[in-house]
Chain A
Amino acid sequence: MWSDIKRQKYAHMFVLTGMLIVFIFQYLPMFGILMAFKQYSITSGIKGIFTSQWVGLKYFVEFFNAYNFEQMVKNTIGISLLKLVFTFPVPILLAIMLNEVRSRFFKRFVQTVSYFPHFISWIVVSGLLVIFFSTNSGIVNDALLSLGIIDEPIALLSDPDYFWGLAVGSAMWKEAGWWTIIFLAAISGLDPSQYEAAEIDGAGRMKRIWHITLPGIRGTIVVVLILAVGSLLGGGLVGSNFEQSYLLGNVMNNEKSEILQTYAFKMGLAQGRYAFATAIDLLQSLIAIVLVFGSNYISKKTTKSGLF
C-alpha cells in the first residue's frame, strides 16, 4: 500500500493541496455556525468561535421579535415564489420557440443575444434599470407619457408597489435566455423520426410540441425544477435576490425590498452584530435544505426521477 502511495506521490500532493484550500474556505466557516448560539466577539478571532459563551436561542428569539420580521419573511418568500412561477416556464417556452425556427442564422442570432445578459454584472443591470425607469427623462416613462398611457411619470424604482415586479422582471431579462441552453440541448437530443411520423399522421405544430417535445424533455424539466426550488430563497434559477434587493432597494421601497439576506448583511457586517446575523443566515440555510430534500422527495414519489 505504501509503495502505491509513494508511486502516486504527486497525485496525492496535488489532491491534498486542493483539499486544504477547500477545507479552509468551505469547511472552516461551517464551524462558524456555532456563533449563532454564542456570545461571540470578533476580537476573539477564529478561536473565539469555540471558546465564547453559549447563549442558546437568544438571537433567534430576538430575530422573531424584530419589528419588521413578518414583512421581511413575506418579501423573501413572495419574491422567490413569484420568480419561480414566472421565470421557470419562460426558458422552456423560449427553447421550444427557438427550436421551431427554420432559419439557422436567425436562431443562432436570438440565442447568442439572449444568453448575453447572463454574463453582465447585476451592477450594470441595476444601472440600466436606473437609466430606463428614471422619472426624470427615463426612456420608459418618456414612451408611456408620449403614448398617452400615463399622465405623469411612474416612480418605478422608489414606489414599493413596483419592487416585486421590478425584481422578477429584471431577473427574467437577465437569466431566462441562459437557462434555455439546457432545454434546447434536451430538445435536440429527441428522435427526429418521431416528428416525421407525427407529421405524416397529420399532427400540426402545436400538437407536435404538446405530444412530442414537451414529454420528451420532461426529465430535464424535473431536474431543473428541483434545482430551482432548492435555490428558491437565493433567487432560484434567475440569480441573486440579495444583489437585487441590495442594489435596487432604497429608503423609499424598503418595506417591499428588505429580505432576510439584506437584513442579515446590515446587521452583520454593517453593524457588527456577527452572532445575530449568523443566526439569520443559519435559519435561511435550514429552509433551503428542507426545500431541496423536500422537492427531491416529492419528485421521486410522483415522477420517479430526481436529483439524488
Chain B
Amino acid sequence: MHRRTNEDRIFDFINILVLSLIAIVTTYPFYYMVVISFNNGLDSTLGGIYFWPRSFTLDNYTEFLNDPKWMQSFFVSIARTIVGAFITIWFTCLAAYGLAYKNLKFQKLYYSFFIIGMYTAGGLIPYYVVLRGLGLLNTFWVYVIPGAINIFFLIVAVSFFKEIPAEMEESAKMDGASDLKIYYKLILPVSKPLLAAMGLFVGVGQWNSWLDSAYFVNNNSLRTLTYRMMEIINQGMSPLDAESAERAAAVTGVTTFSMQITAMVIAVLPILCVYPFLQKYFVKGIMLGSVKG
C-alpha cells in the first residue's frame, strides 16, 4: 500500500535533515556551556574549545560552592521555588475546589471576578506601590505571596475538579465525611496530574524569575541566582571588583566569565532533572489551558 515514491524519499531526506539541524542548534549551546564549566577559566578565554574541555578542572564548581554570595542566592532560589510552588498550589486549588462546588451560590459572579482579574493589570508602578503599601518590599514574601492565586491554573483546576465523578463525593458524604475531609482525602489524591503540571510551571517560573528580585528587593541576602547572573550580564563589574577578580583568576584560573557559565549550568540543571518525568504532564497542561482559556 505505502509505496515510497521519489517525492517521498526527497521529502523525508530534507525533513529529517532540517529537524536534525534544529535539534543540534537547540542542544549544542547547553552542551557547550557544560564543557566550558569544566574547563580552566583562563584557558577558556583563548577560545577554540568546541566539544570537550581542553584543560579539565573542577575549580569553577568548587569556587561556586565556596562563594557565600553565589551559594546564598542559590538557596534563596531553591527556597522560593519550593515555598512558592507550595503556596500557589495550596491557595489556587482550595479556591478552585470552592468554585467547583456543586450548586454553589454566586458561582457565576465569583467566576467572572477571577476571569476579569486575569485581564486586568495596572502596570509595574502601581503594582510596586501596592507591594510597598503592604510592606512586602525587601522581604522573602514578595517572591511567593503575590502569585498565591494563579488564575490560569485556577480555571484549569475548576474544570478538572468538576470532572471527578460526583458519586465519589456523595458516597463519602453518606459516610459522614466533611467537605474538608473530602477535599484532602479524596479530591487531592486523584488530582495528581493536575498538581504535577502546576508544580512544574509554577516551580520553573519561580526558579527562573529575576525581575522581582531586581525591582522589589535591594537586600543582598535575598537576591536570587538568576539575579546574580543578570548582574554579570547586564551591569558589568565595578573596577574594584574587576581587579580582585583578575588577581583571583591568576591564581585559580577561575574567571568571572567561567563562574557565570558555571552558574548557568547550575541554573539549568534542576530543570533538566525534572523535565523528562514531567513532560507528559506539561503537554496535557498546556492543552487543557489552551482549550479552556
- A278–B7 CB distance below 8 A: no
Question: Known contacts A97-B18, A101-B16; is A10 also within 8 Å of B264 by CB?
Answer: no
Size of chain A's interface in residues, with CB distance under 8 A?
A: 86
Provide the B1-16 mask, 1 if CB < 8 A to any CB of A, else 0.
0000101100110011
Q: Which of A129-146 contact B (CB under 8 A)?
A: 130-132, 136-139, 142
Question: Known contacts A268-B124, A269-B215; is A113 also within 8 Å of B94 by CB?
Answer: no
Distance between B29 CB and nearest chain A CB, rounded to angstroms? 5
Complex Cα spacing A205 to B2, Å: 12
- B179–A123 CB distance below 8 A: no
Provide the A33-46 mask, 1 if CB < 8 A to any CB of B, else 0.
10100000010011
Q: Which residues of A contact B25 (CB under 8 A)?
A: 173
B132 lies within 8 A of chain A by Cβ = yes
Complex Cα spacing A99 to B276, Å: 21
Question: Known contacts A17-B94, A269-B124, A269-B215; is A32 also within 8 Å of B279 by CB?
Answer: no
- Which B-chain residue is minimally distant from A275 (CB atoms)? B125
Question: Known contacts A22-B113, A26-B117, A128-B33; is A181 also within 8 Å of B129 by CB?
Answer: no
Size of chain B's interface in residues, with CB distance under 8 A?
A: 90
Q: Which of A4-41 contact B (CB under 8 A)?
A: 4-5, 8, 10-15, 17-19, 21-33, 35
A77 lies within 8 A of chain B by Cβ = no
Distance between A101 CB and nearest chain B CB, rounded to angstroms? 7
B148 lies within 8 A of chain A by Cβ = yes
Question: Known contacts A32-B123, A121-B208, A173-B26; is A14 also within 8 Å of B33 by CB?
Answer: no
Question: Known contacts A12-B98, A18-B98, A123-B210; is A247 also within 8 Å of B129 by CB?
Answer: no
Complex Cα spacing A278 to B141, Å: 25
Of the listed stretches A80-88, A102-110, A296-304, chain B binds A102-110
Complex Cα spacing A136 to B128, Å: 40
B174 lies within 8 A of chain A by Cβ = no
A-B pairs under 8 A by CB, number: 250
Provide the A166-193 mask, 1 if CB < 8 A to any CB of B, else 0.
0000000100010001100100000000
Complex Cα spacing A130 to B233, Å: 8
- B128–A22 CB distance below 8 A: no
- B7–A45 CB distance below 8 A: no
B95 lies within 8 A of chain A by Cβ = yes
Complex Cα spacing A204 to B5, Å: 9
- Which B-chain residue is minimally distant from A15 (CB atoms)? B98
Q: Which residues of B contact A14 (CB under 8 A)?
A: 94-95, 97-98
Can you give 12 A-B contacts (C-beta < 8 A)?
A: A4-B105, A17-B95, A19-B114, A101-B15, A114-B22, A116-B272, A123-B210, A123-B229, A126-B233, A182-B290, A281-B122, A285-B123
